[in-house]
Amino acid sequence: MPDKLPDIKLPSWLDRGDVVRLKNTFIRFWGKVHSWVTWPLTQTDPLTCAEIILNLIAWQYDIARFDGEPLTLYRKRVQIRFYQRAGRRQRGGIQGNF
């Protein structure tokens, strides 16, 4: 995000001291705000989301994790169901899968 902020060029008489620290604080703050705002958008993919969010998605689609099941396999099972349900809604129910 800091690379997307406009480059703030201060006049030469202001380019030192407290004003520079204020500019750097501004850039850091808005970088954090950007990460807070975009975090929910990164949690929609079952393969890359946080494990807590993955458990919520699995609960929504009635998937239980098996004892001793690796996390990668669990993520793939949730992803497959996630995309099956999305496809079923678009193609008109169970008949659309055949």
Residue ranges covered by each domain of the chain: 1-42, 44-97
Choice between 50 and 87, residue whose per-residue pLDDT is larger: 50
Choice between 24 and 5, residue whose per-residue pLDDT is larger: 24
CB atoms within 10 A of CB 74: 19
- pLDDT at position 51 is 93
pTM comes to 0.59
Average pLDDT taken over every residue of the chain: 81
Give yes or no for residue 14 having a pLDDT over 80.
no
Give which of 30, 28, 23 is closest to 8, Cα–Cα.
23
Give yes or no for residue 92 having a pLDDT over 60.
no
Whole-number Å distance between alpha carbons of 83 and 78: 9
First-to-last C-alpha distance (Å) of the chain: 45
- pLDDT at position 42 is 86
Choice between 97 and 41, residue whose per-residue pLDDT is larger: 41
